[in-house]
Amino acid sequence: MINILVLCTGNSCRSQIAEGFLRYFAKDKASIYSAGVKKTFVNPRAIATMQEVGIDISMHTSNLVDEYFEIPFDYIITVCDHAKETCPYFPSNAVRIHHNFFDPSHVEGTEEQITEAFRMTREEIKIFCKDFIHSL
């Protein structure tokens, strides 16, 4: 079984979306985890945007990277520059992959503009995750 960790700053949005897509595409071929360099909450808009495509992340929790030090990860994927730069030393021989995705949680504007920002990020993450799993 392949172990994959997705890291972001607060483990509330981009990493949660990535965890959902990686689980969906990997099925039972990998164990997927997500964490942040600080613990927050799972963004309700991230939950809603994933529900639009039939993936339920409503039971996900925001976790700290420290919670996973004992797991032998094969891949660690950082999905934001801040997490890549500030992640504490993680004792692992995992392959490290970085892709900075746009953070829709900082968008201000109308409900329609915010929703569209989440959808745009969701679709970008979906393509990345699908390609990543198919490359394994």
Question: Is 80 noted as a catalytic residue in this protein?
Answer: yes
Among 37, 87, 125, 129, the active-site one is 87
**11-15, 33-37, 88-92, 116-120: range with lowest mean pLDDT:** 88-92
Question: Is 129 noted as a catalytic residue in this protein?
Answer: no
What b/e sequence results for 97-113 when a residue is b if at least 16 CB atoms lie within 10 Å of its CB, and e otherwise? Answer: eebebebbbebeeeeee
Are 113 and 8 in contact, with CB atoms under 8 Å apart? no
What b/e sequence results for 53-87 when a residue is b if at least 16 CB atoms lie within 10 Å of its CB, and e otherwise? Answer: eebebeebebbebeebeeeebbbbbbbbebbbeeb
* Residue range 112-126: mean pLDDT, rounded: 98
pLDDT of the residue at 123 = 98
* Residue range 116-121: mean pLDDT, rounded: 98
Domain ranges of the chain: 2-135
**Among the CATH numbers 3.10.450.50, 2.40.30.10, 3.10.180.10, 3.40.50.2300, which is that of 2-135?**
3.40.50.2300
pLDDT of the residue at 92 = 78
CA–CA separation, 40 vs 16, rounded Å? Answer: 12
